[in-house]
Amino acid sequence: MIGILQQQISLVSNRFRVFSDTIRKASILYYTQKHEWIKSDGKSGTVGISEYAEQKLGDIVYVELPNQGDTIKAKEQCGVIESVKAVSEIYSPASGTVTELNSTLESNSGIINKSPLDKGWLFKMNLSDPRELEHLMTEEKYKAFLESES
């Protein structure tokens, strides 16, 4: 009987460990005051622009991104987005090294208008200091920020 109880406790313990590891690895979405976002697991991140920014820009026609392998710094310009209305700088939400560019944007930059938080991401990066994310806004804080701006 004790052996069966120990096996059940072990199974529950293993399930909890897998569950808690999954939670720790989940990505969190953060926003900047300049309307960029970064979805990060704490080690790496995917960067894009918010729906608000995409709507303000209008139809996006061209995107200039950093190069793969570039080291970029938080709050510094790292690219440009051109729309039919305006040209807007892209500022990195965090410091790190660019690991991947969204190659779809070369032939279809308008994907940002259709899917700014999913298929319209700009680049991926390895973070050099994950603590920088603490200075960004959560989704709730970003929504409050937008309301205060209008």
Does the pTM of the predicted model rise above 0.85?
A: no
Residues found in the chain: 150
Whole-number pLDDT of residue 3: 56
Decide if pLDDT at 9 tops 80.
Answer: no
The model's confidence at residue 12, banded by pLDDT at 50, 70 and 90, is very low
Whole-number pLDDT of residue 150: 78
Segment 14-72, tens digit of pLDDT? 554 444 444 445 789 999 999 999 999 999 999 999 999 999 999 999 999 999 999 99
**What one-character-per-residue DSSP string does 65-116 give?**
-PPTT-EE-TTSEEEEEEESS-EEEEE-SS-EEEEEE-THHHH-TTHHHH-T
Whole-number pLDDT of residue 64: 97
**Per CATH, is 27-149 categorized as 1.10.10.10?**
no
Whole-number pLDDT of residue 23: 43
